[in-house]
């Protein structure tokens, strides 16, 4: 794309393939995609590609360097593939077309190594079937919020000038290509807060959704649609949206049937109901299971007989809490809400109704425990949602690579035995951080979050630092090849620790928030303290934190399975980094780290800024190795990050010094 950053698919990534001879065997539209990719690489770099459409055609594989073949073992499913190299031939086989495409991108990731060293046959398949991005994109542009809710990368990739961009503009297809190259296979194309214009995408504007689906389909990506629970009323003119009302059920069935006429491989619905003002089944005295199951039934009915792929699912968000809480009432605890609402419904959801749960009990703070819901609904298909868009983690003006946070979450044994990655049988979902920005994500280094999410969704127990290396090698081709080690080491140094750096200079010890209300950028220690949002730290002159113990607090700690309920219940066993999430502690309390709470606050805030300064220095040293536009954009963001980090440091330190009266042990300047 002209003027668009190539991200992790620069031309050079295809050079190892494009300079060689490739045979492609198999037929179908995604095999055409594979062929197109290889053919373009050969056109550019001088190699050759042969297409052998017959399943058992006779071309001699040994005449080629790379064979991509659609005859793999069925056991790997439609997305798996094998890869081996022997006798000078690199061989990729897959049973499904999508698997062949993923196999091609696997070879791209291997680079020259794919053709220089023999390798045993190895099977690859995704651990998680649904690897999804939720776009909080609106069709209409809000005068304040912009077009993408919590978007920090320009306008929407999908919607422009009030209409779908469709495939003609090419950018959507290019996006699908990037996503396939990191393993994402589903995209919800509109905001979960469904406004008036966007509601109509379900009905008279479904053709626009189909145009986006057409652009993404060649890369194995299915589209999903966020719908409003009130659709039968606002679109259908019915007097009710009661999920047990026959008229309502008929309306959804017929509407969904028309959706499948337009999009045969439609992925399903995403619903935010009874949440932050959105309508839902509570209005009719129905449960969330009633609501979700009605939509699941409509999807099942419409989808039966379709050969386009697995059936449609409804992704029902568990983000239900009282957002009009009274801050004076300390017995209500927002952290408890999802568990309290949904655990009683376990076992009641239809097989194609997926409950989509945020990874933490609050809302994508820089540090939260895992949602106890995840370990407590064995009879329900859960999808786990993370947030790639950096709403609370620097809004793509700060470097904050979230790989380690997500990895910790996915490897957490939520029910005491299985990991979150294993429990996420309904999929892994990230709120997208992409827009129509030339660098895709505003901050060029925020691409690493998108890439890492896709790869972690494929393999939740992967080492995130290895994925970071992978992204860097693909994305940062040095202008001088002998400098690749310096370049890779530099970008790695800037990113690898950045989440912990961000945590250091923002809200301490898991307590969260302390952001400016509304837009959520920059510090405001008391910004949410007296709000109706259930987001408090309760700092006074003696201490800080939320007592969520069973013994003396809100009881939230008791929602966890063993051993976590016991671990979190006591300050003695609670990990430092979550201490203030679970307990109200004196400023003088000694952490496991050997520091007091107040000294920890001071130290981390000074360290955080120092780390940003150091990272900026590293980035500056790479100026000769990075594309000038990309380097300049990152530098500009870094300067804002440094300004903002200093503001965080000084506001947080001053706030707690004024409250506690405790001086910094090292006598540093606190205003």
86, 204, 461, 542: which one binds its own copies (CB under 8 A) = 542
331 binds its own copies (CB under 8 A): no
Q: Toward its own copies, which CB reaches closer, 320 or 670?
A: 670
Give the pair of three-digit tokens for residue 32.
Answer: 């055409």
Q: 270 in helix, strand or coil?
A: strand
Residue 565 vs 662, nearer CB to its own copies: 662
Closer residue to its own copies (CB): 25 or 584: 584
In contact, 499 and 465? CB cutoff 8 Å? no
Catalytic residue among 11, 86, 118, 276: 276
Q: Is 463 or 654 the residue whose CB approaches its own copies more closely? A: 654
Told to check if 671 binds its own copies by CB under 8 A, we report: yes
Name the residue among 266, 285, 194 with its Cα closest to residue 233: 194
Residues 6+ apart with CB under 8 A from 13: 108, 111, 474, 477
Of 240 and 651, CB closest to its own copies: 651
Please give the Cα distance from 461 to 510 (Å, whole number).
Answer: 24
Residue from 304, 305, 328, 379 touching its own copies (CB under 8 A): that is 328
Q: Please state, in angstroms and rounded to a whole number, the distance separating the CA atoms of residues 84 and 94.
A: 12
Q: Which residues of 509-543 are buried (b: 16+ CB within 10 A; e: fewer)?
A: bbbbbbbeeeebbbbbbebbeeeebbbbbebeeeb
Collapsed DSSP state (helix, strand, coil) of residue 134? strand
| Binding residue (CB under 8 A) for its own copies from 661, 663, 665, 668 | 661
Beta carbons of 576 and 591 less than 8 angstroms apart = yes
Instruction: Check if the beta carbon of residue 76 is closer than 8 Å to that of residue 118.
Output: no
- Kindly tell me which of 265 and 650 has the beta carbon lying closer to its own copies: 650
Task: Using the minimum distance from each CB to its own copies, give the nearer residue, 484 or 524.
Answer: 524
Which range in 261-269, 304-312, 352-360, 654-662 contacts its own copies by CB under 8 A?
654-662
Q: Does 147 bind its own copies (CB under 8 A)?
A: no
- The rounded distance, in Å, linking the Cα atoms of 632 and 398 is 14
For its own copies, the binding residue among 3, 120, 485, 530 (CB under 8 A) is 530
Q: In this chain, which of 120, 144, 379, 628 binds its own copies, going by CB under 8 A?
A: 144
Closer of 112 and 329 to its own copies (Cβ):
329
* Active-site residue flag, 363: yes
CA distances (Å), origin 26, targets 20, 216, 284: 20, 21, 52
- CB of residue 661 vs its own copies: minimum separation in angstroms? 5
Q: Nearest approach, Cβ of 518 to its own copies (angstroms)?
A: 8
323: contact with its own copies by CB under 8 A: no
Looking at beta carbons only, is 327 or 465 nearer to its own copies? 327
Instruction: Copy the structure tokens of residue 485.
Output: 């080690």
Q: At what angle do helices 403-411 and 464-475 cross, to 10 degrees?
A: 150
Write down the catalytic residue from 363, 385, 436, 603: 363
Q: Of these, 658, 663, 665, 668, which contacts its own copies (CB under 8 A)?
A: 658
Residue 236 CB, nearest approach to its own copies (Å): 31
The yes or no reply on residue 195 touching its own copies (CB under 8 A) is no
Binding residue count for its own copies, defined by CB under 8 A: 27
Q: Is 541 in the site for its own copies (CB under 8 A)?
A: yes
Those residues whose C-beta lies under 8 Å from the C-beta of residue 303, and which sit 6 or more positions away, are 260, 266, 311, 312
SS3 432: coil
* Closest distance to its own copies from the beta carbon of 584 (Å): 12
Q: Across the chain, which distance is largest between two alpha carbons, in Å?
A: 82
Q: Exactly one of 461, 540, 588, 624 binds its own copies (CB under 8 A); which one?
A: 540
> Please, what is the minimum distance in Å from the beta carbon of residue 525 to its own copies?
7
Binding mask 499-528 for its own copies (x = CB under 8 A): -----------------xx-----xxxxx-
Name the helix (H) or strand (E) containing 407: helix 403-411
Contact flags string 90-129 toward its own copies, x per CB under 8 A: ----------------------------------------
Q: CA quadruple 65, 459, 492, 151: dihedral positive or negative? A: positive
Beta bridge partners of 124: 81
- Our CA angle for 614, 616, 618, nearest 5°, is 70
* Between 102 and 536, CB nearer to its own copies: 536
- At residue 260, the 3 state secondary structure works out as helix
Rule CB under 8 A: choose which of 48, 258, 413, 659 binds its own copies: 659
500 within 8 A of 607, measured Cβ to Cβ: no
Q: Are 386 and 428 in contact (CB under 8 A)?
A: yes
To the query of whether residue 461 is one of the catalytic residues in this protein, the response is no
Distance from C-alpha of 208 to C-alpha of 263, rounded to nearest angstrom: 10
Residue 327 binds its own copies (CB under 8 A): yes
* Tally of CB atoms within 10 A around 332: 15
Q: How far is CA 263 from the centre of its chain?
A: 25
Catalytic residue among 137, 391, 436, 603: 391
Tokens for 568?
Answer: 């979190």
74 is catalytic: no
- In the complex, least distance from residue 144 CB atom to its own copies, rounded to whole angstroms: 6
* Shortest Cβ 585–its own copies spacing (Å): 15
CB of 514 to its own copies, least distance (A): 11
Write the interaction track for its own copies spanning residues 624-653; mark x where CB under 8 A is met and - where it is not: -----------------------x--xx--
Catalytic positions: 276, 363, 391
Q: Which positions touch its own copies (CB under 8 A)?
A: 143-144, 327-328, 516-517, 523-527, 530, 539-542, 647, 650-651, 654-655, 657-661, 671
């Amino acid at each position: 794309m002209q003027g668009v950053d190539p991200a992790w698919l620069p031309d050079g990534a295809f050079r190892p393939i494009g300079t060689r001879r490739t045979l492609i065997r198999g037929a179908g539209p995604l095999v055409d995609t594979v062929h197109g990719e290889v053919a373009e690489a050969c056109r550019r770099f001088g190699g050759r590609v042969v297409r052998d459409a017959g399943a058992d055609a006779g071309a001699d594989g040994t005449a080629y360097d790379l064979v991509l073949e659609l005859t793999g073992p069925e056991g790997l499913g439609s997305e798996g593939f094998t890869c081996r190299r022997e006798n000078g031939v690199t061989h990729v086989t897959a049973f499904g077309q999508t698997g062949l495409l993923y196999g091609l991108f696997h070879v791209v990731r291997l680079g020259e190594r794919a053709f220089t060293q023999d390798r045993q046959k190895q099977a690859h398949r995704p651990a998680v079937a649904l690897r999804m991005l939720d776009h909080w994109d609106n069709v209409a542009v809000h005068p304040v919020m912009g077009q993408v809710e919590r978007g920090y990368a320009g306008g929407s990739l999908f919607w422009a000038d009030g209409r779908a961009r469709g495939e003609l503009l090419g950018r959507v297809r290019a996006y699908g290509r990037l996503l396939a190259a990191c393993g994402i296979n589903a995209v919800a194309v509109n905001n979960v807060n469904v406004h008036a214009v966007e509601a109509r995408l379900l009905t008279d504007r479904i053709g626009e959704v189909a145009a986006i689906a057409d652009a993404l389909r060649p890369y194995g990506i299915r589209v999903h649609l966020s719908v409003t629970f009130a659709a039968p009323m606002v679109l259908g003119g019915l007097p009710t949206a009661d999920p047990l009302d026959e008229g309502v059920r008929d309306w959804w069935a017929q509407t969904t049937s028309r959706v499948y006429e337009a999009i045969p491989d439609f992925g399903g619905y995403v619903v935010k109901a009874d949440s932050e003002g959105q309508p839902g089944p509570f209005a009719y005295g129905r449960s969330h299971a009633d609501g979700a199951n009605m939509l699941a039934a409509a999807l099942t009915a419409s989808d039966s007989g379709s050969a386009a792929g697995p059936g449609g699912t409804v992704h029902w968000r568990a983000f239900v809490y009282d957002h009009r809480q009274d801050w004076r009432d300390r017995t209500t605890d927002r952290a408890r809400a999802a568990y309290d609402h949904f655990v009683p419904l376990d076992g009641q959801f239809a097989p194609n109704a997926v409950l989509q749960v945020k990874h933490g009990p609050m809302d994508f703070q820089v540090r939260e425990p895992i949602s106890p819901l995840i370990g407590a609904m064995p009879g329900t298909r859960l999808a786990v949602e993370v947030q790639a868009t950096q709403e609370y983690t620097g809004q793509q003006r700060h470097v904050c690579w979230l790989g380690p946070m997500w990895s910790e979450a996915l490897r957490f044994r939520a029910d005491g035995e299985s990991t979150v990655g294993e429990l996420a049988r309904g999929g892994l979902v990230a709120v997208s951080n992409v827009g129509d920005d030339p660098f895709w994500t505003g901050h060029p280094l925020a691409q690493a979050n998108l890439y890492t999410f896709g790869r972690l969704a494929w393999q939740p127990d992967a080492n995130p630092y290895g994925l970071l290396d992978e992204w860097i090698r693909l994305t940062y081709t040095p202008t001088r090849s002998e400098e690749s080690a310096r370049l890779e080491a530099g970008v790695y140094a800037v990113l690898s620790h950045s989440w912990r750096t961000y945590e250091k200079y923002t809200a301490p010890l898991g307590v969260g928030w302390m952001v400016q209300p509304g837009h959520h950028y920059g510090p405001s220690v008391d910004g949410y303290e007296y709000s109706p949002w259930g987001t408090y730290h309760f700092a006074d002159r003696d201490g800080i934190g939320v007592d969520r113990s069973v013994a003396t607090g809100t009881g939230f700690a008791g929602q966890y399975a063993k051993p976590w309920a016991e671990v979190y219940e006591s300050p003695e066993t609670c990990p430092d980094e979550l201490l203030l999430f679970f307990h109200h502690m004196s400023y003088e309390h000694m952490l496991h780290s050997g520091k007091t709470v107040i000294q920890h606050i001071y130290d981390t805030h000074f360290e955080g800024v120092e780390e940003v300064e150091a990272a900026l220095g590293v980035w500056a040293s790479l100026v000769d190795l990075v594309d000038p536009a990309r380097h300049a954009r990152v530098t500009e963001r870094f300067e804002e990050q440094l300004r903002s980090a200093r503001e965080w440091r000084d506001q947080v330190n001053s706030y707690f010094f004024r409250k506690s009266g405790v001086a910094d042990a090292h006598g540093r300047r606190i205003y």
